[in-house]
Amino acid sequence: MIAPPPIPSALDANQVLQHSFEDATGRLRVAAELVAGGTSEVIISHVDDSIRLGNGVSLITATSVAGSIGLDVNIINPAFPVSLGQKTMANSFPVVLASNQSPIAVTFTTVGDTVTSYSEITAIAAATETTILTYAVGVAQAYLLFVESNRTNVADYKVKLNGSTINRKYTYFGAPLSAYFDFKSSVSFFPGLSLVSGDVLTVTVIHNRPSLGDFNANIEIFEA
């Protein structure tokens, strides 16, 4: 019986795979299949990664100042209006915006009027709380800046808003017979105690001296 011919081998005489080498690239032929789909997670760290902002052509720029990096601001219309609605400010606050051209100073200025009101009373008997001054807010927004009261007797002064005491001070022997209530804010853009239309401020006094007393009061309010 004659044996069948051997099955052709994939190896040549030098034991090298045949038909698996690309002469043009010098690489082995590899069959691979890529299946699209699924999800992947991209983690960006603030330590060693960054993202460029823009449309791919015009990119937003940034500037490093004192170790901090901030986005540059371009003022297209330098005469832009600044509106805070009813919440205006009694003083100017300079603000510097970093620009990729040069720093631009922007100042928020006063919008409104500062008004004062003064009143005095005389011959007030002891142990009688008496109103020295009354002020009714007639504008949409106002801010109480300060109240000052003084005159002839040691006394107890109260500042009231809509009938409720919001501050109180005493004068005493050996000290000036005046009481100063400062409502101006040092931690806010807004100048003082916020008031709205219809609010009523009163300043009252009561004393316990045997002689009659004369008193006065002065308030300053910023009306927006």
pLDDT tens profile 189-202 = 668 899 999 999 99
Full set of structural domains in the chain with CATH: 62-108 (no CATH), 113-223 (2.60.120.730)
Average pLDDT of the residues in 128-147: 95
Q: What is the Cα–Cα distance from 53 to 25, expressed in whole angstroms?
A: 40
CB atoms within 10 A of CB 150: 19
Percent above pLDDT 70 for the chain = 71
Which pLDDT score, from 0 to 100, does residue 25 have? 76
Average pLDDT of the residues in 147-173: 95
Q: Which residues pair with 121 in a beta bridge?
A: 215
Closest alpha carbon to 121 in 156, 164, 83, 152: 152
Parallel, antiparallel, or unpaired: how do β-strands 141-151 and 178-182 relate?
antiparallel
Predicted confidence (pLDDT) at residue 214 exceeds the cutoff of 70: yes
- pLDDT: which is higher, 115 or 63: 115
pLDDT tens profile 16-75 = 666 677 777 777 777 777 677 777 787 887 677 777 777 777 777 788 877 777 777 666
- Within the chain, what is the greatest distance between any pair of CA atoms? 150
Which pLDDT score, from 0 to 100, does residue 135 have? 97
Distances (CA, A) of 63 to 54, 59, 73, 213: 16, 13, 10, 65
Q: Could you tell me which residues come within 8 angstroms of residue 171 by beta carbon, excluding any fewer than 6 positions away?
A: 150, 154, 155, 157, 177, 178, 179
Which pLDDT score, from 0 to 100, does residue 120 have? 96
Per the prediction, the chain carries an average pLDDT of 79
Q: Which of 38-42, 145-149, 163-167 has the lowest mean pLDDT?
A: 38-42
Give the pLDDT band (50/70/90) at residue 93.
Answer: very low
Which pLDDT score, from 0 to 100, does residue 57 have? 77
Predicted confidence (pLDDT) at residue 174 exceeds the cutoff of 60: yes
